[in-house]
Structure 1
Amino acid sequence: MHQPALHALTATDPELAGLVESEARRQHDKIRLIASENYVSTAVLEATGTVLTNKYSEGYAGKRYYEGQQFIDPIELLAVQRAKDVFGVEHANVQPYSGSPANLAIYLAFLKPGETVMGMGLPSGGHLTHGWTVSATGKWFNAVRYGVTKETGRVDMDEVRDLALAERPKVIFCGGTAIPRTIDFPAFAEIAREVGAVLAADIAHIAGLIAGGAHPSPVGHANVISTTTHKTLRGPRGAMLMSDAEHASALDKAVFPGLQGGPHNHTTAGIAVALKEAGTEDFRTYAHNVVANAKALAEALAERGFDLVSGGTDNHLLLIDLTSKNVAGKPAAKALDRAGIELNYNTVPFDPRKPFDPSGIRLGTAAITTRGLGVEQMPQLAAWIDRVVTAAADGDESVVDATAAEIAELLAGYPMPGWA
């Protein structure tokens, strides 16, 4: 059953409670490889389910527009200080509701409509909010985009510099949503300084790895850092903005009153708990294990003939082109889900297929590492993925059912926070 137990919800709304229980069981029974998902601790679950959700707190600590903040202010200040301690930043804002609003605050703080922003193109692994065409950030601003080279699947920093010198962006984004390699923050910083741009590092995917010392930090290189608080950081669904002192005021004004009203205090509390956990030695071990698992899984998949974009991974994330396996990403992802392996279909660089029916799949090791799986399980996981992808190409559903049973048997030995 779900932990904490849902006694009152079950009594009041058994239909909804049943759906929540079913989702908790699903999370327990699946090998969850979606790179943007994780399991939060029971302490984070408890914090986000408290009476803090009852309180409205428009403004910042000490400067609120509502009374009754005697305990809310210390909670927010605690989250802010823990963010500063964990990441070593001069300033932190824990109020953004999610990653996209946090990125939009960067635009409001440092750009005027029509001015130029540069970011990684979505097909190369960037994020919608880095100036992609269907996003408001691509409609309201002059967005120029860099990508990766076809031969290596990696960013060519000389090409980034040439583009920046030609276009003179006011803001440069580095980071993205499907980047399996280490981000060269110093090189991006040098380019930003040369063209007089604000460098914004979007570390939503790798924040936990940075906190745990398993990925280089943008601190000291990027003027502004945005991140979600879930994914590898293993917190609730929220976001943070961090910066040096020079850019702090503009960011704060962009978040409130520029984009938002009152913060979600229950989420702020969950962020504070997650940041406390991220400052421990156990979390450092976890972060390094995430990367070790990803590398081991990448090696095992490569041995089975899978085409890994960029040839492997430096972090938690793998991007795989399934063209050589004679199956598209979408049917493969759906077959894997039925077999107990949850991931997402994804475009790959220079993908000839459409985004809703792309050539690739994206997977990550953050959640399975939280469950306690280690490098010794990665060859078996690769074997299951290979078996199901091959079955998806052949239309063999019997393999899917057999694999699901084997996975359920394995996961029974690995506890999940939130389910008992």
Structure 2
Amino acid sequence: MTYETVRATDPAVADALEGERERQNDTLAMIASENHVSEAVMEAQSSELTNNYAEGYPDERYYGGCEYADDVEQLAIDRAKELWGADHVNVQPHSGSQANMGVYLAALDPGDKILSLDLTHGGHLSHGHPANFAGQVYEVEQYEVDEESGYIDYEGLHEHAEEYDPDIIVSGYSAYPREVDFERIQATADAVDAYHLADIAHITGLVAAGVHESPVGVADFVTGSTHKTIRAGRGGVIMCGDEHADDVDSAVFPGSQGGPAMHNVAGKAVGFGEALDPAFERYAEQTVTNAKALGERLQDHGLDLVSGGTDNHLVLVDLRPSHPDTTGKEVEESLEEAGIVLNANTVPGETRSAFNPSGIRAGTPALTTRGFGEEACCEVADLIYEIVDAPHDEAVVAEVSQRVDELTDEYTLYD
């Protein structure tokens, strides 16, 4: 993709777009919620469907001129149903957070009770943080992981639910490196007569490929992002049984959104089609294998992983045991200077602020898309450790940066 037309009209924006393309080509993306989509997905998302106003759903639009919008949305729906085995799918949410909003509007009344994982323990803003709409509209209490093991305390969750009597329990997390026992959480929801929302934003691709247990058919509602491990471009998705279909669709439109971003729905359709190819299962398996290799090499260097390892696409490093005076933000900034982009992250039992926490979170979806295998991920772990051990040593940063340049040249991304 080139930007000659944009440059002729708006050179400043063209400069930024070309700079971003160069940045992605020349750095290693390890933010666990990021990935690189295919040229086909990007082309679909920049299509003429950006001009189309398609309020409503296929064959039930409020405006004319939606013949091809209907075709594209139905393809996205049908492919999502095949990928995840869902009875009903809504592909219109603009993000995973708006997918969660759709479920809350479909299932709850203002003031109802949400029970979700604490943000500092790996939860997400849209699960009920006070700064988010969910925390402002609903009453929220939060459960935690066991600080020693790093695993979800399922018994504690059950006891908390019995005491709190929530209307909905949220599972699925933004910084939890272990497989989730959705059936056990569903059993707790059933015991307290609550709905269960499984937010698989991070693991949509892993679930689709069968390398993580699926909550579809287990939880009452399943939401996800479409731009993380599934590589289908920006957006969200809601899955549910037929009994909740009308409520979910009404909650998305007209409840929380107007016209869908049909160009993004086109990207979802293309990305879901790519994920139905058998090669995607190999990609998902390699993503998990790479994360395990990355984590084990970091442990070899003496770094402490929350929960002691990973079952999915990410590792969460607690810097306090090995580098008590080093913050996650220091490491994040020095790594970015060297060309490795990940994020500082809170850890269970956090003793610092969320703006300058004690951990770092690293993911392998984007590296795997570039073609990295275990050996290359181990080398990246070595580079990360060099920065962790000396975040302010300019010579170390320069040395790591040089090796990153060699890796990005070896594992090319966009031409």
- Normalising by structure 1, we get a TM-score of 0.97
What is the DSSP-based 3-state SS (H/G/I as helix, E as strand, rest coil) of the residue aligned with 2:22?
Answer: helix
Counterpart in 2 of 1:260? 257
After TM superposition, give the deviation of residue 379 of structure 1 in Å: 2.1
After TM superposition, give the deviation of residue 217 of structure 1 in Å: 0.6
Counterpart in 1 of 2:57? 60
> 1:381-396 to 2 correspondence within 5 Å?
381-392=380-391, 395-396=392-393
> 1:91-170 to 2 correspondence within 5 Å?
91-170=88-167
Q: 2:289 aligns with which of 282, 289, 292?
A: 292
Q: 2:19 aligns with which of 17, 22, 40?
A: 22
User: Is 1:343 matched with 2:324?
Assistant: no
| Higher mean displacement: 87-96 or 162-171 | 162-171
Give me the whole-angstrom Cα distance separating, in 2, the residues matched to 1:17 and 1:316. Answer: 33
Counterpart in 2 of 1:327? 326
User: Is 1:352 matched with 2:351?
Assistant: yes
What is the DSSP-based 3-state SS (H/G/I as helix, E as strand, rest coil) of the residue aligned with 1:71?
Answer: helix
Counterpart in 2 of 1:31? 28
Q: 2:217 aligns with which of 212, 220, 233?
A: 220
Counterpart in 1 of 2:366? 367
Give me the whole-angstrom Cα distance separating, in 2, the residues matched to 1:379 and 1:177. Answer: 23
Give me the whole-angstrom Cα distance separating, in 2, the residues matched to 1:151 and 1:82. Answer: 41
What is the DSSP-based 3-state SS (H/G/I as helix, E as strand, rest coil) of the residue aligned with 2:239?
Answer: strand
Q: 1:232 aligns with which of 205, 229, 232?
A: 229
After TM superposition, give the deviation of residue 169 of structure 1 in Å: 1.0
Give me the whole-angstrom Cα distance separating, in 1, the residues matched to 2:293 and 2:362. Answer: 13
After TM superposition, give the deviation of residue 415 of structure 1 in Å: 2.1
After TM superposition, give the deviation of residue 403 of structure 1 in Å: 1.0
Counterpart in 2 of 1:85? 82
2:338–2:398 contact (8 Å) kept in structure 1 = yes
What is the DSSP-based 3-state SS (H/G/I as helix, E as strand, rest coil) of the residue aligned with 1:412?
Answer: helix
- The alignment covers a number of residue pairs equal to 413
After TM superposition, give the deviation of residue 158 of structure 1 in Å: 0.8
Counterpart in 2 of 1:197? 194
Give me the whole-angstrom Cα distance separating, in 1, the residues matched to 2:132 and 2:264. Answer: 26
Give me the whole-angstrom Cα distance separating, in 1, the residues matched to 2:122 and 2:403. Answer: 33
Give me the whole-angstrom Cα distance separating, in 2, the residues matched to 1:353 and 1:270. Answer: 39
After TM superposition, give the deviation of residue 172 of structure 1 in Å: 0.8
Counterpart in 1 of 2:39? 42
Summarize deviations over 1:243-297 as a string: whole Å, max 9, x none.
Answer: 1111111111100110111000100000000000111111000000000000000
In structure 1, list runs of 5 or more residues that go unmatched: none
Summarize deviations over 1:57-116 as a string: whole Å, max 9, x none.
Answer: 111111111111111111111100000010000000000011111111111111111111
What is the DSSP-based 3-state SS (H/G/I as helix, E as strand, rest coil) of the residue aligned with 1:355?
Answer: coil
After TM superposition, give the deviation of residue 225 of structure 1 in Å: 0.5
Counterpart in 1 of 2:277? 280
Give me the whole-angstrom Cα distance separating, in 1, the residues matched to 2:64 and 2:139. Answer: 42
| Structure 2 counterpart of 1:167, one-letter code | Y
After TM superposition, give the deviation of residue 56 of structure 1 in Å: 0.3
What is the DSSP-based 3-state SS (H/G/I as helix, E as strand, rest coil) of the residue aligned with 1:172?
Answer: strand
Identity, % of aligned positions: 46
After TM superposition, give the deviation of residue 378 of structure 1 in Å: 2.2
2:56–2:62 contact (8 Å) kept in structure 1 = yes
Summarize deviations over 1:183-237 as a string: whole Å, max 9, x none.
Answer: 1011011111111111110000000011111111111211110001001011111
| Higher mean displacement: 276-285 or 378-387 | 378-387
What is the DSSP-based 3-state SS (H/G/I as helix, E as strand, rest coil) of the residue aligned with 2:331?
Answer: helix
| Higher mean displacement: 281-290 or 150-159 | 150-159
Counterpart in 2 of 1:313? 310
| Structure 2 counterpart of 1:369, one-letter code | T
Give me the whole-angstrom Cα distance separating, in 1, the residues matched to 2:334 and 2:316. Answer: 17
Give me the whole-angstrom Cα distance separating, in 2, the residues matched to 1:316 and 1:379. Answer: 15
What is the DSSP-based 3-state SS (H/G/I as helix, E as strand, rest coil) of the residue aligned with 2:232?
Answer: coil
Give me the whole-angstrom Cα distance separating, in 2, the residues matched to 1:379 and 1:96. Answer: 37
| Structure 2 counterpart of 1:202, one-letter code | D
| Structure 2 counterpart of 1:182, one-letter code | E
After TM superposition, give the deviation of residue 322 of structure 1 in Å: 1.0
What is the DSSP-based 3-state SS (H/G/I as helix, E as strand, rest coil) of the residue aligned with 2:82?
Answer: helix
What is the DSSP-based 3-state SS (H/G/I as helix, E as strand, rest coil) of the residue aligned with 1:73?
Answer: helix
Give me the whole-angstrom Cα distance separating, in 1, the residues matched to 2:196 and 2:245. Answer: 14
Give me the whole-angstrom Cα distance separating, in 1, the residues matched to 2:67 and 2:227. Answer: 27
| Structure 2 counterpart of 1:106, one-letter code | V
Summarize deviations over 1:115-151 as a string: whole Å, max 9, x none.
Answer: 1111111011001111122222112211111110111
Give me the whole-angstrom Cα distance separating, in 2, the residues matched to 1:200 and 1:121. Answer: 15
| Structure 2 counterpart of 1:387, one-letter code | E
Give me the whole-angstrom Cα distance separating, in 2, the residues matched to 1:369 and 1:285. Answer: 10
| Structure 2 counterpart of 1:334, one-letter code | E
Structure 1 stretches of 4+ with a deviation exceeding 3 A read none
After TM superposition, give the deviation of residue 383 of structure 1 in Å: 1.1
What is the DSSP-based 3-state SS (H/G/I as helix, E as strand, rest coil) of the residue aligned with 1:327?
Answer: coil
Give me the whole-angstrom Cα distance separating, in 2, the residues matched to 1:368 and 1:48. Answer: 22
2:216–2:239 contact (8 Å) kept in structure 1 = no
What is the DSSP-based 3-state SS (H/G/I as helix, E as strand, rest coil) of the residue aligned with 1:218?
Answer: coil
Give me the whole-angstrom Cα distance separating, in 2, the residues matched to 1:318 and 1:410. Answer: 21
Give me the whole-angstrom Cα distance separating, in 1, the residues matched to 2:47 and 2:134. Answer: 35
User: Is 1:378 matched with 2:399?
Assistant: no
